Amino acid sequence: MYHMYADKQGYKTEDIDISSQGIGGMKEATFIVRGEGAYSKLKYESGVHRVQRVPETESGGRIHTSTATVAVLPEADEVDIKIDPNDIRTDVYRSSGNGGQSVNTTDSAVRLTHIPTGLVVTCQDEKSQIKNKDKAMRVLRARLYEIEEQKRQKEISDNRKSQVGTGDRSERIRTYNYPQGRITDHRINKTIYQLNDFLDGNIEEMIDSLITEDQTRKLKTMGED
């Protein structure tokens, strides 16, 4: 969905690490989106997305519910987050992805562990170990930046309450209901009955509504101060 949305917006995407569950599902996906205004729009996707559907193996027609957590982080520059090389443990291994024989026969995949925080980032998308390490460092820097931002946001929690949720990973923000073909965003109580179209990356209407609501709340708060 997000890759297709990025294509429609003229953004560039770079896959970092994609791992499957082995049963046709996806366990985790990490990728970078580049383009003017990308973060200001996609930040509203952070949170818990709930999916309600009837699996093909469900003979009784019962609806099953699953969730996926989305985190959207701004890419941090080295001047924003300084990482001590001594705090990083680097492991290399053979890629298990779909990169072809040239990837799978060399130790090109990289795993970085930030010892002070325990954060772990892996990257196996590139054939080059150096390129994979560079991508992994960019993701690690973004995650460390997020930790610092969360600390800062706690200090201004009163202001945060006036905003549409844009970062709390534990917040259930949206439900995708397959039987009814609808998407409901719980932060603004907006429902769209075009599920397939939405999953094809046509999410601009929802994002625009979230931006408008967020700006309205912020203006209202400013007027009350």
The strand pair at 88-93 and 109-114 is best described as antiparallel
Mean pLDDT of 159-178: 71
> Taking all residues of the chain, what is their mean pLDDT, rounded to a whole number?
84
Alpha-carbon distance 214 to 127, whole Å? 42
- pLDDT surpasses 50 at 99: no
25 touches 7 (CB < 8 A):
no
Q: Residue 220's beta-bridge partner residues?
A: none
CA torsion angle 208 217 148 68 (round to 10): -50
Which residue's structure tokens are 């973004």?
142
Q: How many CB atoms lie within 10 A of CB 191?
A: 14
Mean pLDDT of 10-36: 84
What's the pTM value of the predicted model, to 2 decimals? 0.71
- pLDDT surpasses 80 at 3: yes
What is each CA distance from 61 to 49, 55, 184, in whole angstroms? 22, 8, 22
The number of C-alpha atoms within 13 Å of 73 and in the hemisphere containing its C-beta is: 21
Q: Is 89 exposed, middle or buried (0-12, 13-18, 19+ CB in 10 A)?
A: exposed
Mean pLDDT of 198-225: 88
Mean pLDDT of 98-108: 57
